[in-house]
């Protein structure tokens, strides 16, 4: 009878440990799946995408006011300085013709710069002379890797806290399961 109780207690402890390990594995899986979403949010996925262009192009004004080109260049330059992927782009405007220059990491950023510039009021056309810089020395090649490493480093305390809580829950469950005196039926002990 005592052997049967010991075997039952060991089976219950093994079952509890098994369930706790499954819970810890599920929590780790959730953390791993949440990291790419968090990284995407931090890497610029929340930047507004360029709106779809209208089917009919606006009419070109016959007269231009003085200083309008400087305002256009300043506005576009201000927008580009706020976007990390376009911070190296230069802007010049003359008679409503905007010329973009500088370097970006990929062709997608170059197209995005042209689309943003074309949406500014007063722009007649955009000359996109942006070059793609693939050199490692420029910081574009390893930049995303550095950012990911930095994001992961910032998340380490949260990951550590989650693991600590999971281990505390598992330890508490194991402790409660090992206290068979609390769970034993007093009537059958006689």
The pLDDT of 99-103, averaged and rounded, is 94
- Given a cut of 50, whether residue 113 has pLDDT beyond it is yes
Question: What dihedral angle (degrees, nearest 10) is formed by the CA atoms of 9, 14, 15, 17?
Answer: 120
pLDDT tens-place string over residues 132-176: 887 655 545 566 788 888 889 999 999 999 999 999 999 999 888
Under 8 Å CB-to-CB from 176, ≥6 apart: which residues? 182
Maximum separation of any 2 CA atoms in the chain, in Å: 106
CB 76 within 8 A of CB 106: no
At 153 the pLDDT is 92
CA–CA dist 110, 157 (Å, integer): 37
- Given a cut of 50, whether residue 52 has pLDDT beyond it is no
At 167 the pLDDT is 97
CB 145 within 8 A of CB 104: no
Considering only residues 153 and 13, tell me which one the structure prediction assigns the higher pLDDT. Answer: 153
CATH topology of domain 54-132: 3.30.1340
At 166 the pLDDT is 96
b/e 31-68 (16+ beta carbons within 10 angstroms → b): eeeeeeeebeeeeeeeeeeeeeeeeeeeeeeeeeeeee
């Amino acid at each position: 009878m005592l052997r049967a109780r010991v075997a039952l207690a060991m089976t219950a402890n093994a079952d509890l440990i098994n369930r706790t390990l499954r819970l810890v594995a599920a929590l780790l899986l959730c953390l791993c799946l949440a990291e790419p979403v968090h990284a995407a949010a931090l890497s610029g996925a929340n930047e507004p995408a360029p709106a779809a262009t209208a089917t009919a192009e606006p009419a070109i004004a016959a007269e231009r006011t003085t200083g309008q080109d400087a305002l256009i260049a300043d506005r576009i330059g201000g927008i580009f300085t706020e976007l990390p992927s376009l911070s190296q782009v230069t802007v010049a405007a003359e008679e409503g013709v905007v010329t973009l220059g500088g370097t970006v990491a990929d062709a997608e950023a170059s197209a995005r710069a042209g689309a943003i510039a074309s949406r500014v009021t007063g722009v007649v056309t955009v000359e996109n002379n942006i070059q793609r810089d693939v050199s490692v020395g420029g910081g574009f090649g390893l930049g995303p890797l550095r950012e990911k490493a930095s994001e992961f480093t910032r998340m380490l305390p949260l990951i550590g806290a989650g693991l600590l809580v999971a281990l505390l829950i598992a330890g508490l469950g194991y402790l409660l399961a090992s206290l068979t005196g609390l769970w034993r039926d007093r009537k059958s002990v006689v």
